[in-house]
C-alpha cells in the first residue's frame, strides 16, 4: 500500500517491455508505487539523488537518476582538469617546440 503521507517523488529511469525499449520513471521513496512515462516527466518536481533538495526536472536535467542544477555544476567543477604543479603552459609549449626541432634536425641528416 502506498504511503499516505505526501512526499516529493525521487525518480529513477527504468527500462520496461520485452525489448526494454520503453522508459518510465519510478519513484524510489519507501512505500511509494508511483511511476510515470518518460514523455511526462518534464516540469515535474523531484528530489535530487545527491542532496535530496526538491527541483524542477527540465530537458537539461533529465537523466537516469536526475540531480539538481547545483549538484550538476559541482560535479562538472570536480571533473575539470587540474593544473599539474611545477608545469606551466609555457614550459609545455617549449618542450613541444624543442622536440619538433629535434625531429626536423634528425630528418635533415
DSSP lists the bridge partners of residue 25 as: 13, 36
| Band of residue 3 on the pLDDT scale cut at 50, 70, 90 | very low
* Residues 61/55, Cβ–Cβ less than 8 Å: yes
The count of domains in the chain is 1
User: Within a domain: residue 45?
Assistant: yes
**Residue of 74 and 10 predicted with greater confidence:** 10
Q: 32-86 pLDDT, tens per residue? A: 999 999 889 999 999 999 999 999 998 888 888 988 888 888 887 777 666 666 6
d(CA 79, CA 54): 24
Residue 78 falls within a domain, yes or no? yes
Q: Is residue 104 part of a domain?
A: yes
Does residue 3 sit within a domain?
no
- For residue 81, is it within any domain? yes
Is residue 2 one of the residues assigned to a domain?
no
On whether residue 4 sits in a domain, the answer given is: no
| Selection from 76, 31, 85 nearest residue 50 by Cα | 76
Query: pTM for the whole thing?
Result: 0.62
The pLDDT of residue 61: 80
Q: Greater confidence, 32 or 106?
A: 32
- Spatial separation of the C-alpha atoms in residues 2 and 37, rounded to whole Å: 19
Q: Assess if residue 21 is contained within a domain.
A: yes
Domain that holds residue 25: 11-108
Q: How many residues belong to the chain?
A: 109
Amino acid at each position: 500500500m502506498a504511503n499516505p503521507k505526501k512526499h516529493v517523488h525521487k525518480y529513477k529511469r527504468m527500462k520496461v517491455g520485452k525489448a526494454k525499449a520503453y522508459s518510465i520513471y519510478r519513484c524510489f521513496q519507501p512505500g511509494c508505487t508511483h511511476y510515470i512515462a518518460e514523455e511526462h516527466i518534464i516540469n515535474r518536481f523531484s528530489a535530487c539523488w545527491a542532496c535530496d533538495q526538491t527541483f524542477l526536472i527540465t530537458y537539461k536535467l533529465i537523466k537516469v537518476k536526475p540531480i539538481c542544477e547545483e549538484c550538476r555544476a559541482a560535479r562538472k567543477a570536480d571533473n575539470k582538469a587540474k593544473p599539474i604543479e611545477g608545469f606551466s603552459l609555457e614550459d609545455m609549449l617549449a618542450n613541444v617546440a624543442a622536440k619538433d626541432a629535434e625531429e626536423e634536425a634528425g630528418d635533415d641528416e
